[in-house]
Structure 1
Amino acid sequence: MTAVPPRQTLADGLEISRILTGLWQVADMEKDGVTLDPEKAADDLEAYFSAGFSTFDMADHYGSAEIISGRLLARYGAGVRPQVFTKWCPEPGPMTAGIVRRGVQERLDRLGTDCIDLLQFHWWSFEHPAWLDALHEMTRLQQEGLIKALGVTNFDAAHLRLALSDGIPLVTNQVSFSMIDRRARGALSQLCAERGVRLLGYGTLCGGFLSDRWLGKPEPAEISDWSKMKYKRFIDAAGGWSGFQGILSAASEISRKHGVSIANVATRWVLEQDAVAGIIVGARIGETEHIADNRKPFSFQLDPEDHERLEQAFRATREVPGDCGDEYRKPPFLTASGDLSHHLAEMPLAHDAVAAPHRPDATKVLTGSDWEEIAGYCRAQKIGNRILVSGTTAVAGAARAVAPCDAGAQTTYILDKILAALTALGASANDVVRTRIYIVDEADVLDISRAHGRVFSGIKPANTLVVVAGLIGDHKVEIEAEALLQAT
């Protein structure tokens, strides 16, 4: 087999290297306030491009990575040139056309280009529904020619499905994917196969832990490197150092068989997953480069015996809890920064609780919809320790039904709205004791139930599901809920 990096088509006019050069370590290199020289750093990136690793991945918060990549882009004309992928990661809040345009334009300005090859969107809390507004605005900017292709990062299967069913033309989802973190092999990969979305995997080497240097080594007592702090948490979540060493041992056997390294085996394993278009391998530009080693995963293939040996090692570990992206949104937080509760608590809520003037022991949540005034109701009301949530449908804006042909996606959106109301009243999904679900088509029962179970499988409130003659417009499901706050 050739060791030339193969190409992968993501969208019309967008062909990428299957190993992307990740620039997240620029932020780590610049964390003490010293900025990299952009021209010299661009020289280092050009070496990757010349070797066939033509695709670079970064984000708005990766230090000066966008500026460095812009200097690289400026060296090429309209012909063969690097592909530059970046991310926009705004904090939750209103996503008006102006706000989204400014966010995209800042990426364009820093990159010094008039079109972003792939713009990927990250959202911290799906309880704030403006993420879907942002994606629709980004779609409009794509139609204007400012963006070639759209992707998301750290979306679980349910919310990726919701975005697709609401008409967002996503081509990628960038998620953690490694021999330690195998969550993306499940529902997310199945959805990608059904909808034609491809995964970009990061963390494939777990910050360098999946390499020969850690085989047989004792568990580190202290870690100062941001990346290793993050992926040590993944190792712990997957069952600890013993199970990790079991995976390393299996990968070592396979690496000796093929004459490659453990890192090459780890990379190859992710590349052979059907949903994966490419993986992101970080580069500490100007300090170390791995161009030669990045070629080796394309010089061999894992055979069935290799895969079974790895599966045997996997069975001695635990699955990382939750779904893809959960590590950024709820415990157990598995990020470099650790517990993000304080960060998330500082973000604006989708709605605020307001006093109920007719009785001093009540507070309400209003969403500002016209119907709340016309019909005289609130989204949710708290009286004492009891919270009642009105019948909720998947409405965006004034009256648009979200994902009109997908009852499961509507259920996901509805439950996010319900959780947002509960959060504003000091409650959570754990406090829900009853839900009632009204649906119009018996054929949707399984999809709706699975979406309900994604939120409540570990809580199991009382539940009633009823097929009704009809709901207004394109709504396929309506849900109401009741919660009881626990005594403190």
Structure 2
Amino acid sequence: MSIPRIALAPGLEISRVLTGLWQIADMERDGRTLDLDAAATAMHPYVEAGLSTFDMADHYGSAEIVAGRYRAARAATTAVQCLTKWVPEPGPVTAEQVRTAVDRARTRLQTDTIDLLQFHAWTFADPRWLDALWMLEAERDAGRITAIGLTNFDTAHLRVAISSGIRVVSNQVSGSLVDTRFTTKLAPYAAAHGVGLLCYGTVLGGFLSERWLGAPEPAWDTLETWSQMKYGRFIRTAGGWAVFQQLLHTLDAVAQKHGVSIATVASRWVLDQPGVAGVIVGARLSHSQHVSETSRLFAFTLDDNDRAAIAAAQAALLPIPGDCGDEYRTPPYLTASGDLSHHLSSFPAPFSTRPGADGRTLALSGTVWEPMAGYSRAVRKGSRIQVSGTTATHGSHAIGGDDAAAQTHFCIDKISGALQSLGGRLEDVVRSRVFVSNVDRDWEAVARAHGERFGHILPANTMVQAKLIGDEYLVEIEVDADVGS
């Protein structure tokens, strides 16, 4: 069975089914060692079956090293695509740090040019995530990266990146029959802007399989793998084991009808969704092979009856909250540990602070305008925080181009960063004031973006038309917040 391929970028064509190597980190957990050469050899059956695209990351244990050994051994006869990720700590980033990260991946992968480097940002309240992307652009222009992708970006911030001129070809996000967030806003926006979605978690760490059909609810604190720990949280958030079993029984009927497995039906459903360029199916190299089963993804087609039955079972599930990637940025953290403790040690403040007069604390962004005009990015006195008028700028860059919604999201990000720097958060905002340069054209886009970010907070709000300083600015926002006791 031929595996379809898709072009993500000039010079980068991938299999629509990618083999994920995140489980290598799990296999090396608690000091366990992995035979790297045996793992590299275990990649070959996938390549022979047409599954020549592998997904990995800088923090997936020895995954990049394993892939590099395979490439070195087969370079003369076999073409593979190695998609990796860079997941830096939050905070300031330098060109030297970016070059070091790129060179480390090139060395591990034993290649001059990384096929696709995917970037993850832990927080958007710190605008320095854009610095990293601009520096990756320079690495791509220098020929060390073929293409730039994102991972776990929500729709709003994919929009900010695209409208700011970042040339992104993909966004890797969670996507499954249980987690359908990608289908609502992200997929339509991504498809309209030439960004392919790469969906992981399609089989929920193995929970979408015959093994769990009719099985009693597992002891959630004694699961075998990080993937099971993580996706167990998704199942509980979506309504629990009983409704999940209803979904499994429906999938089992569809699977038996087509002579395939439940996992194959689950992955095929995701692959069929508009905007999805590929699905990522995990592999435990040198331990278990699923090449034949994975290849069956294209041996059948879900018909209208199948889709209707699946939709009826999905209707009993609760939606996973938020947009794509929120599981890594806002509670409830749907991670293996239920928080970010195994990912990060701390979040540095986005802006510097210092004492001011009369018991005030000042947050400063360091722009030339603050000392010239005599103001702070934000001021806290007691429980009150007041944030200055905020436009979509970062350093010398105007953010968001002519996209009023993107500019609004970035303004609110900066406001969130200022609040965090002074011990507050967006939920503490009690009033927002929005100034729009062209109300007739942009009011609705600005209002909708404001609604996305403040809809659960509902502060007092005013929107007015105003002549802003700088023709590139479509919107400016200021807020008042009260952090309480």
TM-score by length of 1: 0.96
C-alpha displacement at 1:450, in angstroms?
A: 1.9
C-alpha displacement at 1:87, in angstroms?
A: 0.2
C-alpha displacement at 1:345, in angstroms?
A: 6.7
Matches of 2:476 and 2:483 in 1, distance apart?
A: 23
Q: Does 1:94 align with 2:92?
A: yes
Q: Tell me what 1:61 maps to.
A: 59
**Deviations 1:325-356 (CA, angstroms, capped at 9, x unpaired):** 00111100001121227966712121233111
C-alpha displacement at 1:58, in angstroms?
A: 0.4
Q: Tell me what 1:279 maps to.
A: 279
Q: Tell me what 2:261 maps to.
A: 261
Matches of 2:294 and 2:342 in 1, distance apart?
A: 38
Task: Note if contact 2:230-2:335 (Cα within 8 Å) is conserved in structure 1.
Answer: yes
Q: Tell me what 2:298 maps to.
A: 298
Change (3 A) 1:223 1:55: same
Q: Does 1:328 align with 2:328?
A: yes
C-alpha displacement at 1:404, in angstroms?
A: 2.2
Matches of 1:322 and 1:342 in 2, distance apart?
A: 22
SS at match of 1:85: strand
Unaligned residue ranges in structure 2 (runs of 5+): none
Q: Does 1:74 align with 2:108?
A: no
Matches of 2:185 and 2:264 in 1, distance apart?
A: 26
Q: Tell me what 1:417 maps to.
A: 414
Matches of 1:185 and 1:206 in 2, distance apart?
A: 17
Q: Tell me what 1:47 maps to.
A: 45
User: Percent of aligned pairs with the same residue?
Assistant: 52
Q: Tell me what 1:435 maps to.
A: 432
Q: Tell me what 1:460 maps to.
A: 458
**Deviations 1:390-444 (CA, angstroms, capped at 9, x unpaired):** 00001111x3211221111111111111001101111111110000000112211
Change (3 A) 1:455 1:482: same
Q: Higher mean Cα deviation, 469-478 or 205-214?
A: 469-478
Q: How does 1:74-153 map to 2 (within 5 A)?
A: 74-77=72-75, 80-153=78-151
**Deviations 1:159-206 (CA, angstroms, capped at 9, x unpaired):** 001100011111100000000100000100110121111100000000
C-alpha displacement at 1:283, in angstroms?
A: 0.7
SS at match of 2:31: coil
Change (3 A) 1:303 1:245: same
Task: Note if contact 1:404-1:476 (Cα within 8 Å) is conserved in structure 2.
Answer: no
SS at match of 1:257: helix
Q: Tell me what 1:215 maps to.
A: 213
Q: Tell me what 1:244 maps to.
A: 244
Equivalences, count: 482
Change (3 A) 1:388 1:343: farther
Q: How does 1:351-362 map to 2 (within 5 A)?
A: 351-356=351-356, 358-359=357-358, 361-362=359-360
Q: Higher mean Cα deviation, 439-448 or 370-379?
A: 439-448
Matches of 1:352 and 1:219 in 2, distance apart?
A: 48
C-alpha displacement at 1:274, in angstroms?
A: 1.4
**Deviations 1:236-292 (CA, angstroms, capped at 9, x unpaired):** 111111221121111111112111111111011011011111111111111101000
Task: Note if contact 1:471-1:477 (Cα within 8 Å) is conserved in structure 2.
Answer: no
SS at match of 1:32: helix
Q: How does 1:177-188 map to 2 (within 5 A)?
A: 177-188=175-186
Letter in 1 for 2:361: T
Task: Note if contact 1:127-1:350 (Cα within 8 Å) is conserved in structure 2.
Answer: yes
